[in-house]
A and B are shown apart, each in its own frame.
Chain A
Amino acid sequence: MASLANFSTISSSSAAHLSSIRNSSSNSFLLTKSSPNSIKLLSTPRQCFNHRRLVLKAKANSVIDAPTTSSIDGVSDSPKVLLEVKDLTAKIADSGSQILKGVNLVIYEGEIHAIMGKNGSGKSTFSKVLVGHPDYEVTGGTVVFKGENLLDMEPEERSLAGLFMSFQSPVEIPGVSNNDFLRMAYNARRKKLDLPELGPLEFYDYISRRLKIVNMDTNFLNRNVNEGFSGGEKKRNEILQLAVLGADLAILDEIDSGLDVDALQDVGEAVNELLTPQKSVLMVTHYQRLLDIIKPKFVHIMEDGKIVKTALMALRVNPQWHPD
């Protein structure tokens, strides 16, 4: 299997990861190919994942042999499929040009996936299609998210269902303060859960605590959404939204683009901070450096609208996949 073969590609950065895997006494994954380009994980030791080191700290007592044993963290032991994408095809609504040509992907609860690929391979389109961007039209295939047909849902319903995408270039919204925006979004969540909406003061309490995660001060709230923000501030603001709204699956579309090393570190750590054993992440990136901070379990390579390769774990991606 091509994906497993990549294990042997050892680089300095992945060596440590591999060694920690080897140290696990029963680091057992069973991988089968459910469809030509996707990997289905039948059983995972997710309950052992530490949220900071999701991939690497799989421990022995889990669990291919005894899938029904009680979990260490009290999490249900049977792995749940969070997102299942089958043969997804999509085109640009205006021009009609086909971008996605049959994407297959399965993400289980608690997994971190990364999609890499050259410019124009369809990575960002895939993210946008998942959140229902009106510029794209799905022409075939299915997407099931938490057991429901995602493609039937409006963008706001997808969000309320637990799907979050951080935008590659978040739009500026003059006239809407960050605080009002976040409160609106947060209250939409609460409304969905039949909880009373938070007034400005209660929300301020809540948001202040969240701000610390992304290392921002409260001035940030008074500014208009993304207006005049630097590249780094925009990305932080995306992660702040993730922190406020929470998500079962966070799609991070090139969260690393335009960031310097320190900012990247900050953003990456903020994401790690937010991860829990149930939360999943799908990263779209060009760069290895992000994978060094938020460590994925799977890396998918996208090419011409399809996922052509999937590698398990901390591989060093071949230089040919670096587009720049």
Chain B
Amino acid sequence: MSGASRVSEAELHAFVDGQLGDERALAVAVWLAESPRDGLRVDGWRMQNDAIQRAFPAPARERATLAFRAIDSDAPLTMPSTPAIEDYRARRRRRRTMALVAAFVAGAFAASALALFAHRMTTRPIPSDPIFVEVTTVSDEFARRAVEAWRTYARDPARPVEVDARDMAGLTKWLKERTGLAQPPTISGARLAGARVLPAHGGNAAFLLYRLASGDPVVLLAERGARSPGAYRSGDVSARAWSRESFDYAIAGAVPDARLAALAAELAGPR
């Protein structure tokens, strides 16, 4: 072991839960790079957190009703007044009517879009771009994970990254130790803000957060592998994935498709 300061058990947990300040988080990251056993445990807790999220899926969204039956073991509750309940129900009925109309309009729009898409796919040749296939709705696992990682961390105001890029040397060393990524790629017109290490199927994935000149966050996910190129979109966030030199990469962000394609082309092109 080298000069990394001793880290307590509680600090390891706080590191996993994003509860440490920047300075201490960096100290823990350095410690973990030199302490594989603790690194394994921290990875295990992260996987536990992911498993817990998967084990308890969120129930379907529905608004709580005002009329309900109190649970047996609880004290009786004061019911809202009847006019209040009627008002709420009336509003809910109006919303349902509006939702039905909106669903019909959306369905008609989706059918038109599908017809147009099918028409374009059957009449247009596959693009000759060797890196990407121009299909934005294909579900690609790695690109999907990049979108999910973007949604989870990129807009976190408190702690979007574990290790800040201000200590570039420490960040690079840490990422190399944990993920095998030799060097965080540079993106012209974007600044590297920092990184995380995320669990992956066969090891760890590097999560790199960049900020464009506009301030928009984009995420580059990198892990060892050689998958096919792909793309994924969910709402306003999209991702493009490719492989290069035995690493899979996916870039994700809530930016226009053309901008994301340009970023991906820059990263996937010759360096």
Q: Real complex partners, A and B?
A: no
